[in-house]
Amino acid sequence: MKDASAKTRRRPARRAAPLPKPYHHGDLRRVLIDAALTLVEEGGVEAVSVREAARRAGVSPGAPFRHFQSRGALLTAVAEEAQRRFRGEIDKALAEAPAGDPLARFRSFGLAYLRWAMRNPTHFEIISSGRLFDHDKATELSRDNTELIGLTERMLAEASAQGQLRPFDLKQVQIAGRALVYGFARMNIDGHFPRWGIAEAEAERTAEAILDLFIEGIAKRPQTSP
């Protein structure tokens, strides 16, 4: 009979349970914002939740709360990212516009605004609506928006100084231009175009034509020879 103690010695040693791995997900904040942006694109703002963003990011439901303590905080970060992308489109358009023609630059600004808003309607709704996030806490977005308002003021002032504009109140021109692009973008979001006979494929061409009507209305007409 074999010694029982020998059997015991031949048994493989039981492996110790692995220690829990420390939490690590690279830039979790960025991953969560990207996940929330995807949720917005798929199902609108209503589809965004911290829990679902965590699931998409592949982390536990509690992990996001070290970065975003509420849905509102997450939406604020999403709004700031959407604004950053919007600003990128504006900067790109202005880089391609003629430097010495402020009215042409003003037009390029408006056209970039319209195109981005129509191609990214939900992102536009996030940054343009005051009910989806806390503007007081979205400091980067507020600062960027102030810079863009100042940019349009300077372009119109330069256009006026160069004699490109008819004698209007520049503040009214600025507000009217903003109302035009914002209103057209909202018509797209709210689904008004079909009732006005505007097919989806024609929306951007219509936006450009309407913007040109506005520019023509504020531009000083060249003097004709008698």
Note the pLDDT tens digit of each residue in 124-171: 988 887 676 777 778 888 899 999 999 999 999 999 999 999 999 999
Tokens of 141: 């977005």
Tokens of 80: 């700031």
Same domain, yes or no: 37 and 96 = no
Model confidence pLDDT, tens digit, residues 52-63: 988 988 888 888
Number of domains in the chain: 2
Find out whether 156 and 174 touch, Cβ atoms under 8 Å. yes
Same domain, yes or no: 42 and 115 = no
123 found inside a domain: yes
At how many degrees (to 10) do helices 139-161 and 170-189 cross?
Answer: 130
- For residues 101 and 161, what is the distance between their CA atoms, to the nearest angstrom? 11
Higher pLDDT, 15 or 170: 170
Residues 6 or more apart whose CB falls under 8 angstroms from that of 169 comprise: none
Question: Which residue's entry shows tokens 């863009």?
Answer: 148
Same domain, yes or no: 57 and 98 = no
Using alpha carbons, select from 62, 84, 92 the residue that is nearest to residue 138.
84
21 falls in which pLDDT band (50, 70, 90)?
very low
20 falls in which pLDDT band (50, 70, 90)?
very low
β-strand partners of 219: 165
Neighbours of 215 (CB within 10 A): 18
Looking up residue 32, the CATH number of its domain turns out to be 1.10.10
Looking up residue 150, the CATH number of its domain turns out to be 1.10.357.10
Same domain, yes or no: 176 and 102 = yes
- For residues 138 and 112, what is the distance between their CA atoms, to the nearest angstrom? 23
Cα–Cα distances in angstroms (integers) from residue 187 to residues 51, 115, 121, in the given order: 32, 13, 10
Phi-psi region of 111 (alpha: psi -120 to 50; beta: other; left: phi over 0): alpha
Kindly state the percentage of the chain with pLDDT values over 90: 52
pTM: 0.80
